[in-house]
Structure 1
Amino acid sequence: MAESCAASGGGPGRRAGCREIGAWADDLLRVAEIEDYPFAFNGLQVDGRRPVARIGAATDACLATIDLAAEAGCDLLMVHHGLFWGGARPLVGPSYERFRRLFESGMGLYSAHLPLDAHPQIGNNILLAAELRVADTEPFGCFKGNDGIGVIGAVDTSLGELAARAEVVCGRTPIVIAGGPESVSRLAIVTGGAGSMIEAAAMAGADTFLTGEGNHHTYHEAMELGINVIYAGHYGTETLGIRTLVKRAAEHFGAEHTFFDVPTGL
Structure 2
Amino acid sequence: MAKASLSAIVEYCERTLRTDEIKDYDGAVNGLQVENDGKVTRVAATVDASLATIKLAIAAQADLLIVHHGLFWAPTHPWTGKRREMLRLLMDNNLAIYSSHLPLDFHPQLGNNAQLCKALGFKKLTPFLMQKGQCSGLETTQKISRADLVKRLQAVVGGKVTVLPGGPAVCKKIGVVTGGAGSYLKQAAAEGVDTFITGEGQHWTYALAEEEGINVLYGGHYATETFGVKALAAELSKKFSVPWVFLDHPTGL
AA paired with 2:215? Answer: N
What amino acid maps onto 1:127 in structure 2? Answer: Q
**Alignment partner of 1:236 is 2:223:** yes
| Residue 209 (str. 1) matches residue 196 (str. 2) | yes
Corresponding residue for residue 69 of structure 1? 57
Q: Are the equivalent residues in 1 in contact too, given 2:56–2:247 (CA < 8 A)?
A: yes
Q: Do residues 259 (structure 1) and 246 (structure 2) align?
A: yes
Q: Give distance in 2, aligned partners of 1:56 and 1:178.
A: 38
Aligned length: 253
In 2, the alpha carbon distance for the partners of 1:149 and 1:95 equals 32
Give, as a single letter, the amino acid of the residue that structure 2 aligns with 1:54: R
2:7/2:38 contact within 8 Å kept:
no
1:57 aligns with 2:45: yes
- Partner Cα separation in structure 2 for residue 124 and residue 87 of structure 1: 27
- The amino acid across from 2:107 in the alignment is H
CA distance in 1, matches of 2:25, 2:88: 25
Gaps spanning 5+ residues in structure 1: where? 1-6
Asked if 2 retains the 8 angstrom alpha-carbon contact of 1:19 and 1:44, the reply is: no
> Structure 1 residues 38 and 88, CA, compared in 2 at 3 Å: closer, same or farther?
farther
Matches of 2:225 and 2:107 in 1, distance apart? 13
Query: By how many angstroms is 1:73 displaced?
Result: 1.0
Whether the 8 Å CA contact 1:50–1:75 is kept in 2: the answer is no
| Residue of 65, 89, 108 corresponding to 1:101 | 89
Q: For 1:208-254, what per-residue CA distance to the aligned partner results, in whole angstroms no more than 9, with x for missing partners? A: 00100011111111110000000110000001111000000111111
Q: Match for 2:205 among 212, 218, 232?
A: 218
Q: What secondary structure does 1:237 align onto?
A: helix
Q: Which moved more, 1:43-52 or 1:179-188?
A: 43-52
| AA aligned opposite 1:232 | G
How far the C-alpha of 1:87 sits from its partner, in A, is 2.8
| Alignment correspondent of 2:147 | 160
SS of structure 2 residue aligned to 1:74:
coil
Q: Letter of the 2:127 partner, please give it.
A: P
- The reply to whether residue 47 of structure 1 matches residue 38 of structure 2 is no
2:24 alignment partner AA: D
Root mean square deviation, CA, Å: 1.4
* Corresponding residue for residue 74 of structure 2: 86
Higher relative contact order (CA 8 A, sep 6+): 1
- Identify the match of residue 163 of structure 2 among 176, 185, 189: 176
Offset, 1:20: 2.1
Q: Which residue identity is paired with 1:111?
A: S
Give, in whole Å, the separation in 1 of the partners of 2:232 and 2:155. 22
Question: Is residue 197 of structure 1 aligned with residue 160 of structure 2?
Answer: no
Gaps of 5+ in 2: none
Which residue of structure 2 aligns with residue 4 of structure 1?
A: none
Cα distance per residue 1:177-233 (max 9 Å; x no partner): 000001011110100000111112111211100100011111111110000000110
What is the CA–CA distance in structure 1 between the aligned matches of 2:217 and 2:86, rounded to whole Å?
A: 33
**2:109 equivalent in structure 1:** 121
- Looking at structure 2, the residues matched to 89 and 36 of structure 1 have their Cα atoms a distance apart, in angstroms, of 22
Alignment-derived partner of residue 121 in structure 2: 133
Compared with structure 1, are the counterparts of its residues 86 and 95 closer, same or farther at alpha carbon in structure 2 (3 Å cutoff)?
farther
CA drift of 1:50 comes to 4.6
| TM-score, with structure 2 as normaliser | 0.96
Q: CA deviation at 1:75?
A: 1.2
Shift of 1:24: 1.0
Q: State TM-score, norm by structure 1.
A: 0.92
* Runs of 4+, deviation exceeding 6 Å: none
Taking the aligned partners of 1:185 and 1:133, their CA distance within structure 2 comes to 14
